[in-house]
Amino acid sequence: MNRWAYPWPVLHSGLAALVGITVCMQAGCMSAERAAEIETAAAERSPLTHKPAPDFALPNQDGETVTLQAQKGRWAVLYFYPADGTPGCTCQAQEFNKSHAQFQHLSAKVFGVSPDSVASHKNVADKYNLKVDLLADPDQHVMEAYAASAKTPFGRRVIRSTALIDPAGNIAYHWPEVIPQGHADRVRAKLDELKSGEPSSP
């Protein structure tokens, strides 16, 4: 087992159900402030932050292989989600898609990762005109390496989470718990914050 793979029994004891029912268009289900508090509290306990990002090579919705090595020199966002087409996952995809230009302006590439097939990703990407790449990890090996997959008595469970990877290939920030609604904005804000502390180019 990859040394960065581990279960999150405490953090996921009560929030999993909440995350599962949170969707983009639900009004008043949770305030942005409360969602940020939950995500930040979990992130502060993540041991993955500041660790080298596990390498990966996964096909995107067009069958093209995407590698971490190819992202060196720029920021990368890996957001892990359970399944294409579900309300929370669609919410995330649409919100990251809406912020695509802003992430580009911050020199960041966004990737969604799930166990779904390339064909499934292609259907979703076409349906919602997504600009973000969706990566297929059917064996969940990459998800396990990023603590986004955990064993249960009934098989493996996908953990909705996000890793922000810096240009040197390290995990600059890790969200082990994610509230889909508004998450893309919180990732973008964190990226902007981290980049503001970067040294100026010579």
89 is catalytic: yes
Q: What pLDDT is stored for residue 3 in this prediction?
A: 39
- Cα(184)–Cα(41) distance, integer angstroms: 17
Residue from 24, 29, 89, 91 carrying the catalytic annotation? 89
Q: Domain containing 175 — which CATH number?
A: 3.40.30.10
Question: Please, which residues have CB within 8 angstroms of residue 92's CB and are 6 or more apart in sequence?
Answer: 79, 81, 112, 178, 180, 183, 184
Domain of 186, in residue numbers: 15-23+30-196
Instruction: Based on DSSP, count helices (H) and strands (E) in the chain, helices before strands.
Output: 7, 9
| pLDDT tens digits, 77-134 | 999 999 999 999 999 999 999 999 999 999 999 999 999 999 999 999 999 999 999 9
pLDDT tier for residue 15 given thresholds of 50, 70 and 90: very low
Total number of domains constituting the chain = 1
- 1 found inside a domain: no
| DSSP symbol at 153 | T
- Res. 29 pLDDT band, cuts 50 70 90: low
- Which pLDDT does position 30 carry in this prediction? 80
Task: Record the pTM.
Answer: 0.83
